[in-house]
Chain A
Amino acid sequence: MLTLCQALNSGLRRAMEDDDKVLLMGEDVGRLGGVFRVTDGLQKDFGEARVVDTTLAESGIIGTAIGLALRGYRPVCEIQFDGFVYPAFNQIVSQLAKMRARTGGRTALPVVVRIPVGGGIGAVEHHSESNEAYFAHTAGLRVVYCASPDDAHWMIRQAVAGDDPVIFYEPKRRYWVKGEVTPEDAGPPMPLHRARVVRPGADVTLLTYGGTVATCVAAAEAAAQEGRDIEVIDLRSISPLDVATIEESVRRTGRAVVVHEAPTFAGFGAEVVAQVTSRCFYSLEAPVERVGGFNLPYPPAKVEEEYLPDLDRILDAVDRVLAA
């Protein structure tokens, strides 16, 4: 059993052993092992040239990672907290994401941007944001969310081995949760772009990712006590989106609720609802519901429990789609 944090660490270690072009870079990732210790011990084992404590400049981290990738390296950048990715927004959106298309497909930029994401850890402002919609809206990026130690380990390895830029979200409140990591010889892991049915069910489909996957599973367990059979799908990759898995499920259940931490207004859930509505319209028994953050800046820690989607708000939405 490993925590999600340890599973990421072992995944990064394997990625570095597999390919000596892989570099880790970010603020305090070396000697300290990162503020969440995801890279703990890696600088000691791989040296300062491969685990780089960068200057304190996010645009600089991503911009130089692009240059390193052009030179043949595979940089894995850590952004210290979700709210600090914005200084790098230009380099991510205009440079990292677009280079392949701008060069007619010629120039790949295999850069992974790891972002500890989301709330639920009682943090101060700018340390609890869910900003995936900005990046999902940008062609040329893969945007993925790990939610379990097993996925954390295998998804980070796949992200590093792939040839596309990846925004790799790590839900902070799940860093310390333990779980099994599938061993090396257990066959190929699920492809990075696929959604996973984490709990099968027949009555309602909950579509979610990241920190709210566990909340949705808990909600489904609670609903099961009342005889409701809820399916939970962890989208894992929001861009590209595995619409086939979503479509198969919702056509079967006829009811769906999308759950994420980010504000629902123009949030990624809106895209999921649109896809579900146009693909499954004639199977739907009820309007697709969304549960998420409010259209507010992330609130102070003492009230974040009210802001975050919890079991009751999810079950409330489940009631609404079942009542229709």
Chain B
Amino acid sequence: MTTVDLADPPVTNPFTGTTDLPRAAEGWTQLVTPDGRLHPDVDVDRDALGRLTRDLYRGMRLARRLDDEAFALQRQGELGLWLQCRGQEAAQVGSVAAVRADDYVFPSYREHAAALWRGIGPADLLRQWRGVAHSGWDPEPYSFHIYTLVLAAQLLHATGYALGVQRDGSDTVVVTYFGDGAASEGDASEAMNIAAVNAAPMVFFCQNNQWAISTPTASQTRTPIHRRGAGFGLRSEWVDGNDVLAVYAVTSAVTEHARAGAGPAIVEATTYRMGGHSTSDDPTRYRTDDELEAWRARDPLARVEALMRAEGWSDETFLGQIQAEADELADRTRRECLALTAPDLADAFATVLSDVPQLLREERDAFVAYRGSFLD
């Protein structure tokens, strides 16, 4: 049996030194059209670009497979809830691949593709959604904080972390993910303001997937989210979030800008949540099939496949290999999910504070004794 290597693949940045990135008619940065044509102004080393594209594609494909498997596991009753990242793979993989493996990430709750890229495995990604824990992984080895479900709270944690990085004189950059809905929270504005005032080395990465549960972006904000950057004093970028190369190029530019001490940035990646908000949601109550179809035509994976075909970067062997890896990952996801068992509630008492004070000890002991009284 092969094992999928989930470690952050070494990627060389073909865009280093590129200053002007092409824009589409919409106004956002776009390097590859929805039908997979590379913009003629993209003047970088083609071999390097081909290697990068293949790496990114692999990350996106693996993420989609894991996402689909988790969705199926939820439908089969093995997960309590799942929030699909389908449709957002380019925004996530393109951005996380553009930063250094030791740049610290504060995700929201849907960043499975980014997490997988960093090497976080299926068991860790699923345990929270199976209801056996409140968080999935130890952040330290991955430089990837646990998911935050309270919208925008993590933007302040990321900002504080970046202020610490700054005090340490380290060249780490902090990246935080949030949604178009979360952008309306006070914590988002506080975080962007504090980051700008302190020139914190960080990137605010907004995945505008058009919906916050049933509320469209037009009901969240009058001006495009990236335009807020100017008000706060952040460098602002708007990118086609379904174009993985554009996301990669934009994110690496703002990250290196922040690393050089030139201050924080906001990136708005326009993308689409192809699934429901969660497995508990019914998106047919608020959005049209036409809309979904229009975005299906912009599927970020199909775009890369078309590009690779056109550029001669993929062949049957390559695609077959990724397919095999994806199947293996799906198997592993299922296996690891089923192996996740419930914790002992009695152990939770020792995780609240650095010690177990008298009253908490008494509660635990009484609970254990009560539970024990049923055993025979």
- Which residues in A have some Cβ–Cβ distance to B below 8 Å? 49, 54-55, 57, 59-60, 62-73, 75, 87, 90-91, 94-95, 98, 100-108, 139-140, 142, 162-164, 193, 240-244, 275
Contacts and interface: CB of A to CB of B under 8 A. Distances in A.
Contact of B133 (A63, A75, A104, A162): A104
B24 interface: no
A72 B197 CA distance: 22
Contacts of A75: 160
Interface string B348-365: 101111100111100000
**Dominant SS among interface residues on chain B:** helix
Given A63-B191, A105-B351, A95 B153 contact: yes
12 contacts: A54-B194, A63-B153, A63-B157, A63-B187, A64-B160, A67-B158, A70-B164, A71-B161, A90-B150, A102-B146, A108-B354, A142-B353
B160 A243 contact: no
A287 B259 CA distance: 65
B135 A162 contact: no
A164 B353 contact: yes
B206 interface: no
Contact of A63 (B168, B190, B353): B190
B126 to A, nearest CB: 16
Scoring B158, B164, B358 by chain A CB atoms within 10 A of each residue's CB, the highest score goes to: B164
B359 A240 contact: yes
A71 B190 contact: no
Given A59-B187, A100-B352, A68 B357 contact: no
Contact of B163 (A64, A108, A241): A64
A142 B354 CA distance: 10
Closest 6 CB pairs of A and B: A67-B160, A63-B156, A71-B164, A64-B160, A240-B357, A105-B351
Contacts of B187: 59-60, 63, 90-91
Contacts of B168: 71
Given A64-B194, A108-B354, 17 more contacts: A54-B194, A57-B190, A57-B193, A63-B156, A63-B159, A63-B190, A64-B159, A68-B160, A70-B145, A71-B164, A75-B160, A91-B187, A103-B135, A103-B146, A104-B351, A240-B358, A243-B359
Contact of A140 (B135, B157, B162, B353): B353
B134 interface: yes
B224 interface: no
Nearest to A63: B156
Contacts of B159: 60, 63-64, 67
Nearest to B351: A105
B360 A240 contact: yes
A244 B358 contact: yes
B119 to A, nearest CB: 18
Interface string B118-161: 00000000000000011100110000011010100101111111
A119 B138 CA distance: 44
Scoring B150, B163, B194 by chain A CB atoms within 10 A of each residue's CB, the highest score goes to: B163
Contacts of A70: 145, 157, 160-161, 164
Contacts of A91: 153, 156, 187
A65 B164 CA distance: 9
Interface of B: 106, 133-135, 138-139, 145-146, 148, 150, 153, 155-165, 167-168, 186-187, 190-191, 193-194, 197, 348, 350-354, 357-360
B144 to A, nearest CB: 12
B58 to A, nearest CB: 30
Contact of A102 (B135, B167, B350, B360): B135
Nearest to A244: B358
A140 B163 contact: no
Contacts of B167: 49, 73
Nearest to A93: B150
B350 A105 contact: yes
Scoring B165, B191, B353 by chain A CB atoms within 10 A of each residue's CB, the highest score goes to: B353
A206 B103 CA distance: 55
Contacts of A90: 150, 153, 187
Contacts of B150: 90, 94-95
Nearest to B200: A64
B351 A73 contact: no
B351 A100 contact: yes
B295 to A, nearest CB: 33
Nearest to A242: B358
Nearest to B160: A67
Nearest to B361: A240
A67 B190 contact: no
Nearest to B128: A102
Nearest to A240: B357
B342 to A, nearest CB: 13
B190 A104 contact: no
A164 B354 contact: yes
Scoring A64, A72, A244 by chain B CB atoms within 10 A of each residue's CB, the highest score goes to: A64
A91 B150 CA distance: 9
A68 B193 contact: no
A21 to B, nearest CB: 9
A67 B357 contact: no
Contacts of A243: 358-359
B352 A71 contact: no
A67 B354 CA distance: 19
B177 to A, nearest CB: 15
Contacts of B190: 55, 57, 59-60, 63
Given A57-B190, A101-B352, A67 B156 contact: yes
